[in-house]
Amino acid sequence: MNDLLYQLKEQRLEKGNGFEAADREAAVRALKAILALLYPGFFTAEGRREKENLAYLEETLPGIIRAAFAMSSQADDNAEEIAQDYLLSLPSLLAALEKDVQAIYEGDPAAVSREEVVLCYPGFYAIAIFRIAHGFAKRGVPFLPRIMTEYAHAKTGIDIHPGATIGEYFCIDHGTGIVIGETAVLGDHVKLYQGVTIGAKSFEKDENGNPVKGGRRHPTIGNHVVIYANATILGGDTVIGDGAVIGSNAWITRSVEGGRIVRETEH
């Protein structure tokens, strides 16, 4: 059995002070506490009351952030400041989410109330977790944002990279199978239906045949754009102009002028 342990140690990726399973669970607990702090009565976190959730985050968030930096081999002495700054940003985060609630409520005739959107809609759940995670990504915190959005991905089937830029009044209807890449930029009042991919074309490779990391790989979506079910939009130089409508099953690899309706299967 000692030989087995040696073989495993020789083959695996290992970090001495990084994220292990318990730390990943701690990140998800922090996510749930943030959701419960933003929308008490709609989300819960281990039975804590609102003030208790704030105290829990003040106590645990610096350590979670510090562990994330340790996993990336970056020493960070500002975990306390990052955590405090993040918590102070929660009112503006809530204001952004309220606009998303309004967009979904107004965009779906089946939505009977704003309360139903918050409580029941997987699209809103995925958006809320994205916006929570994006706040950490903007502050340069590694791993933690992706753990959060992958948790949402597992729960909803909606995959939004925390590095994406998404404007106000974002509406996801149904949502299953949506993919939004890291460098995608979405404007205000964008509406997506299920199965939409806002992704990258084939990756450029270096002299060793490895994919080149970084760079702009994903499309820009303008304001007041509607993208219907199973449409695919690819490429960092692809721009969908304001007010455009992309029909179901469309395959888009070139820019689309504002106000245009695209029905064909390839553009």
In-domain check, residue 212: yes
Report the pLDDT value the prediction gives residue 74, as an integer from 0 to 100. 72
Question: What is the model's pLDDT at position 19?
Answer: 53
Q: Is residue 2 one of the residues assigned to a domain?
A: no
What CATH number is given to the structural domain containing 255? 2.160.10.10
Let me know whether 38 and 123 are in one domain.
Answer: yes
The three-state secondary structure class of 148 is helix
Domain boundary among 158, 189, 220: 158
Q: What was the pLDDT predicted at 23?
A: 79
The answer to whether residues 178 and 154 belong to one domain is: no
Does 184 fall in a domain?
A: yes
* 146 shares its domain with 23: yes
Q: Is 249 found in the same domain as 216?
A: yes
Please check whether residues 145 and 208 belong to one and the same domain: no
Query: How buried is residue 118: exposed, middle or buried, by Cβ count under 10 Å (0-12/13-18/19+)?
Result: buried
| Residues recorded for the chain | 267
pLDDT in tens, 127-172: 999 999 999 999 999 999 999 999 999 999 999 999 999 999 999 9
Percent of the chain with pLDDT over 70: 88
> Which range has the top average pLDDT, 76-85, 149-158, 211-220?
149-158
Q: Is residue 162 a contact partner of residue 136, using CB atoms and an 8 Å limit? A: yes
Q: Of 129, 158, 187, at which residue does a domain stop?
A: 158
Q: What is the pLDDT of residue 18?
A: 47
pLDDT-derived band at 5 (thresholds 50, 70, 90) equals low
State the total domains in the chain. 2
- pLDDT-derived band at 1 (thresholds 50, 70, 90) equals low
Q: Residue 122 sits in which domain range?
A: 17-158
- CATH number of the domain to which 136 belongs: 1.10.3130.10
Residues whose CB falls within 8 Å of the CB of residue 225, separated by 6 or more in sequence, listed in order? 186, 187, 189, 190, 191, 240, 241, 242, 243, 244, 245, 246
Residue 13: its pLDDT value, please? Answer: 67
Distance CA 42, CA 33 (A): 12
| pLDDT of the residue at 215 | 81
Question: How confident is the model over 194-222, as a mean pLDDT?
Answer: 84
Q: Kindly state whether residues 121 and 202 are assigned to the same domain.
A: no
Domain identity same for 248 and 116: no
Last residue of a domain, one of 132, 158, 184: 158
Query: Does the pLDDT of residue 70 top 90, yes or no?
Result: no
Do 138 and 203 sit in the same domain of this protein?
no
